[in-house]
Every structure is written in C-alpha cells, then in structure tokens.
Chain A
Amino acid sequence: MDNQENQNRTQKTVVYDQLSQEKKKSLSVLSLVLGIISFIFCWTIVTPLITGIIGIITSIICLIQHREGTNMAIAGLVLSLIGLVIAFIILALIIIGIAVS
C-alpha cells in the first residue's frame, strides 16, 4: 500500500503551454489589424505610413511562408496598400496646395 502511494507521489508532473503547441496565425491577424488601422487612419498621413508598411511586410511574410490564415493576410495586404495610397494622395494634394498658394 505504502509502495503504491510512493509510486503515485513520484509520478512526474508535466506543465506545458497549450497555446504554443497550436499552429499560430497571429502574424496574419496582425497584418489584418494593421491593414484595417492604416485604412481607417489614412487621413492622418503618418499612421498609414507606419502601420501600412509593417502590415505589407507581415502579410508578405505570411504569404511566403504559407502560414495559417492566408485570407486574412491577403485582406491585410490589400487594406495596407489602399491606406498607403490614400495617404500618399492626401500628402500630394497638400504639397500641391502649398506650392500653388
């Protein structure tokens, strides 16, 4: 009886992170989030320059490495590009406006 109890007590305890075991799609989620932010904040000019460029880089990494969440990465890439283009158009209009005035 005592022997069995001792055996049970010496049973090895294993502690592990279950989230690290899963295939991660965090990079594709990040690229989508940055794409949405660059699209929403395209009128601020500075924000889409930062978030848009990072969004494009992260989505390209997702697509090249064939990570999980390809659709989200594509959506992130498109939104980042749209945000960047709109920001550049607004910036160009401001520069033209200043030059004309």
Chain B
Amino acid sequence: MKKWEVEVDGVRHLIQYKKGFKNTIIVDGETYKAKSSNWFINILDYAIQFGDTTCQLVIVGTKVDLAVNGIFMGSNKPYEPISNVPALSWVFVGISTIGGLILCGIWGLLTGILMSTVYIQKGLEKKTGFIIGAFIGCSAIQILIFVVISSLLY
C-alpha cells in the first residue's frame, strides 16, 4: 500500500493506493474503485480533486506516483498524462504481448508484459528511439525463447 499526505488550503488529506485483486484508491478514508485501462498491464491515471486543487495518481506497472500541482512527489518530474503516450508504444505493447503469447506461450507473454512497461514509461518521455530499440530487443528475446522451446520439444 502506498500513502501520501497532501495539504490543500491548510487541510491535510490522506491519499492511499491499495493494490490487490481490485485496485482501490482511498481518499480521507473514503474508498474508490480504480480500473486499469489495459488488459495486460496495470495502467491508471486518476485525478483527485480537492476544490480547485487537483492531484493525479499515475500507475504504470509497478511504478506508482502522485502528482500535486503538476509535479510528481516521488520523482520530482513534471506530470505527463498517460493519454500523451504515443500510439507507437501501444502498438508495440499489443505486438509484444499478443505476438509473444502466440510465439512462445506464457514466457513470451511475460516478456512482453515486462517490456510493455518500458514502452509506456519511455513513451511518456518521448524517447522513440529507445522504444524501438526495446521492441527489437524484446522480439529477439521472444524468438530466442521460441527457438529454445522448439529445440527442447522436437
């Protein structure tokens, strides 16, 4: 469970994020259900509004951070909405996960999921070259797993 204390207009608010079978956001003791926008990776971008002040809870895979006034509390980096992730990253996420599953089963899927978080995180930083490199690397690993599994089976 992750906890943050935010002070808005002199009032302290406690924001908690609980990861379990279902994601929950607890704001000052009040529970809100949170749903990931992706089938394979945990991706959330929730806004928590206290009057005029808005906090953004961003979750990509296992990375959880809260942005207050446009600055992340953990990394001190400026807030970037998940909707700004380029389409290229989402296409690579799909190919790596579904393609990996078809090519070499569960191991391919796991490799795809692991690398998908990299595509999204680097997509937010607009590092297209890094994303393409990571995709090539991921595909190479999946092909290697496919070759190893095939040689063991046949």
A residues sitting closer than 8 Å to B (CB atoms) are 5, 8-9, 11, 13-20, 22, 25-26, 29-30, 32-34, 36-37, 40-41, 44, 47, 51, 69, 72
Could you tell me the distance in whole angstroms from the C-beta of A71 to the nearest C-beta in chain B? 10
Across the interface, do B45 and A19 meet the contact criterion of CB distance under 8 Å?
yes
Of the listed residues A5, A25, A29, the one surrounded by the most CB atoms of chain B closer than 10 A to its CB is A29
Across the interface, do A11 and B51 meet the contact criterion of CB distance under 8 Å?
yes
B47 interface contact, C-beta 8 A: yes
Interface size class of B (residues with CB under 8 A): 20 to 34
Interface residues of B in 88-134 (CB under 8 A from A): 90-91, 94-95, 98-99, 102-103
Chain B residues closer than 8 Å to A11, beta-carbon distance: 9, 11, 50-51
B3 interface contact, C-beta 8 A: no
B81 interface contact, C-beta 8 A: yes
Across the interface, do A18 and B32 meet the contact criterion of CB distance under 8 Å?
no
Across the interface, do B9 and A18 meet the contact criterion of CB distance under 8 Å?
no
B residues sitting closer than 8 Å to A (CB atoms) are 9-11, 13, 25, 27-28, 30, 32, 34-35, 37, 43-51, 56, 81-83, 87, 90-91, 94-95, 98-99, 102-103
A17-B34, A34-B98 known; 19 new pairs, CB 8 Å cut-off, are A5-B11, A8-B51, A9-B11, A11-B11, A13-B50, A15-B25, A15-B46, A16-B46, A17-B45, A17-B46, A19-B44, A20-B37, A29-B90, A29-B91, A29-B94, A33-B91, A36-B95, A37-B95, A37-B102
Could you tell me the distance in whole angstroms from the C-beta of A88 to the nearest C-beta in chain B? 19
Across the interface, do A5 and B10 meet the contact criterion of CB distance under 8 Å?
yes
Chain A residues closer than 8 Å to B50, beta-carbon distance: 11, 13
Give the CA-CA distance A14 to B35 in the complex, in Å: 16
Give the CA-CA distance A9 to B29 in the complex, in Å: 13
Name the contact of B81 in the complex, choosing from A5, A18, A30, A40 (C-beta under 8 A).
Answer: A18
Task: List the A residue with the shortest CB-CB distance to B37.
Answer: A19
Across the interface, do B45 and A13 meet the contact criterion of CB distance under 8 Å?
no
